[in-house]
Amino acid sequence: MNKKPVIGITGAYVKHNEYMEGVYVHHDYHKCVAANGGIPVILPYINPKMAIETLALCDGLILSGGEDVDPKLFGQDPHPHLGPTTPERDVAEIAMVKYALENNIPILAICRGVQILNVALGGTLIQDIPSQVKEPIQHNQKIDRSRDTHWVTIATDSKLFEMVGSERVRVNSLHHQAIDKVANDLRVVAQSSDGIVEAVEYIHPTTFTVGVQWHPESMASTNHEMNNLFKDFINSIVKVPASV
C-alpha cells in the first residue's frame, strides 16, 4: 500500500474583523489536491527557518495566490498602485522555493506563486499591469473565477503543452502584477496576446517545476486541461511505501 503524497499549500493573509485574522487558502486548492490523490496541508508563514522545516514534511509544494509581492525584494520602490503586501510571507516563500529546488521537491506555482518563484530566482515584476503595460487586455476579470476570459499561447516544446495538449488554451485571470524580467533559471512557455508572461518552467528539469499566472484550481472541476496540471504535478511525486 502506498501512502498519498502530502502537498503543502502556502497560505495568504486575510482579516475578517478585529477578532478573526490569519492564514487563508481558497478551498479550490485543497479540493484539487484531494481530487487528484494528494493530502493538502496549509503552510503558515512564520519565518524562513520554520517555513523550511514545514516544507521538509511535504512531498510537493503549491505556491498559492494572494497579496502583492514587496518590491524591495527585486530592488524597486513601490508603484502608486501597489496593493497590500506581507513581507513575512514573501521571505518565507522565497526560502521554500530555494529549499524545494535544492531538494528536488516538485513545485506548482500559481498566480502570485509564479511571481514569487521568479523573484526568488532573481527576476523582477510588473507592479501594475494597467498603468505599466501598453494596451493590456483585462487581467483582473469581473466574472466568477471559475470561468475563462482570455487566450494564452503555449510553447509546443514545453511540459505545459504536454499537460494541456494544445497550443492555445482559455484561462481565467485574477491579477494586476506579472513577471517582468524573467529569472535566468526560468523559461517562458506561455504568453497572452499583450505579451504578459503567463507560464514559466525551470530550465533544470530534475523535477516538476511549473508556474502559471492564471488559477487552474478554480477551473479544474470542469476543465480536464486545467486539472491535468494538478494530476501531473501529483503523479510526478514518488510515493513511498507506507510503514506497517
Q: One of 139, 150, 175, 215 is an active-site residue; which one?
A: 215
The rounded Cα 100 to chain-centroid distance in angstroms is 14
215 is catalytic: yes
C-alpha gyration radius of the chain: 17
79 is catalytic: no
C-alpha cell at 123: 527576476
DSSP 34: H
Core vs surface per residue 53-73: b (16+ CB within 10 A) or e: ebbeebbbbbbbbbbbbbbeb
Q: One of 93, 198, 201, 217 is an active-site residue; which one?
A: 217
φ/ψ of 123, rounded to 5, equals -90, 180
Residue 217 one-letter amino acid: E
Contact indicator for 85, 73 with CB cutoff of 8 Å: no
Q: Which residue has the cell 503543502?
A: 8
DSSP 219: T
> Could you write out the three-class secondary structure of 70-129?
CHHHHCCCCCCCCCCECHHHHHHHHHHHHHHHHCCCCEEEECHHHHHHHHHCCCCEECCH
Q: Could you give the CA distance from residue 158 to residue 161 in angstroms, rounded to a whole number? A: 5
Q: One of 111, 139, 150, 198 is an active-site residue; which one?
A: 111
- Active-site positions read 111, 215, 217
